[in-house]
Amino acid sequence: MRILVLGAGGIGGYFGGRLAEAGADVTFLVRPARAARLAETGLVVRSPHGDILRPVRSVTEAGAGYDLVLLTCKAYDLEAAMAAIAPAMAGGAFVLPMLNGMRHLDTLDEAFGAGHVLGGLCHIAATLDATGEVRHLNRMHALTLGPRRDGQAGVVAAFAEAARGARFDLRVSEEPIQDMWEKFVLLATMAAMSCLMRGNVGQIMATDGGEARMLATLAEADAVAGAAGHASRPARLAAARATLTERGSSFAASMLRDVERGGRTEAAHVVGDMVARAGAAGLAAPMLATAWCHLQVHEARVAGG
């Protein structure tokens, strides 16, 4: 299997690097400056699970001949990312998106055909630092994928085989959309509360009413998932509650880091989309709506300089 990884930043650099380390046929599609850096230093990943320092293949323009594209862009870069991978998709590749939320599936389906868009998600905290090294920030490094349509099982199995021996947790799911919704519920809650309260879980739990507000936000998000036919399974919902209410936890959404540095966020794709889906389903979501209002102000200030 020939794999094209869009980007060599936190997510693409980490999972693409682990695949290359395991012997998979991996090429990174990157901008010229990143390609020059990779040519000079190789791919450098610093991780609690072991560092990667190795030469890798990179290109600055996609072409045909790939079997699968690992799409690891931010949601606000999706249109540009689709244009970049279009030549590979025209050559018959499948795309495995690692974006947060759900809205991107409709966009990718329309652009490339639903038969070529797999279900997928990842759980990892990783970033590209100022020196060009990928920094893996905790021990979580899980990638889940599965077929959304008939005819996709073969490429899913081929990817699993290519990833055999790779140093990350791989899971092939028969219900990737359910898995994606459960992550969406957790992430929307975490992003909304982290950004609205400007703090991590432990800090929120230390306040009067923090736990009640966190759980109210989680209930709103899961009600939206339920209206879509994908309410969180009991064990997953219990795990989400435990994660979101753990005393002393330093866990926070990466969106909070984006807000604190004054950068763009995926707010529209995560919190905003959850609010829109609540409205379409006739559900009240006051906590999520308040967070979305707050995040829209941030985005307007960023756009206005």
The reply to whether 49 and 150 lie within a common domain is yes
**pTM over cut 0.75:** yes
The reply to whether 95 and 14 lie within a common domain is yes
The reply to whether 166 and 193 lie within a common domain is no
Catalytic residue among 183, 213, 241, 298: 183
Q: Which of 138, 158, 174 represents a domain boundary (last residue)?
A: 174
Query: Hey, what's the torsion of the CAs at 68, 265, 183, 30, to 10 degrees?
Result: 20
The reply to whether 138 and 227 lie within a common domain is no
User: What's the rounded Cα separation, in Å, for the pair 98 and 87?
Assistant: 19
The reply to whether 210 and 286 lie within a common domain is yes
Instruction: Say if residue 120 is exposed, middle or buried (CB neighbours under 10 Å; 0-12, 13-18, 19+).
Output: buried
The reply to whether 162 and 230 lie within a common domain is no
As for how many domains the chain has, the answer is 2
Q: Which of 137, 157, 174 represents a domain boundary (last residue)?
A: 174
pLDDT tens digits in sequence order for the chain, 305 residues long: 999 999 999 999 999 999 999 999 999 999 999 999 999 999 999 999 999 999 999 999 999 999 999 999 999 999 999 999 999 999 999 999 999 999 999 999 999 999 999 999 999 999 999 999 999 999 999 999 999 999 999 999 999 999 999 999 999 999 999 999 999 999 999 999 999 999 999 999 999 999 999 999 999 999 999 999 999 999 999 999 999 999 999 999 999 999 999 999 999 999 999 999 999 999 999 999 999 999 999 999 999 97
Q: Which of 174, 197, 229 represents a domain boundary (last residue)?
A: 174
The reply to whether 133 and 82 lie within a common domain is yes
Residue 228 domain boundaries = 178-303
Q: Where are the alpha helices (DSSP H) in 113-233?
A: 153-162, 176-197, 201-205, 210-227
Indicate the SS3 state at residue 187.
helix
**Catalytic residue flag (residue 183):** yes
User: What's the rounded Cα separation, in Å, for the pair 43 and 11?
Assistant: 13
- The CATH number of whichever domain residue 187 belongs to comes to 1.10.1040.10
Region of 129 (left: φ > 0; alpha: ψ -120 to 50; beta: rest) is beta
- The CATH number of whichever domain residue 119 belongs to comes to 3.40.50.720
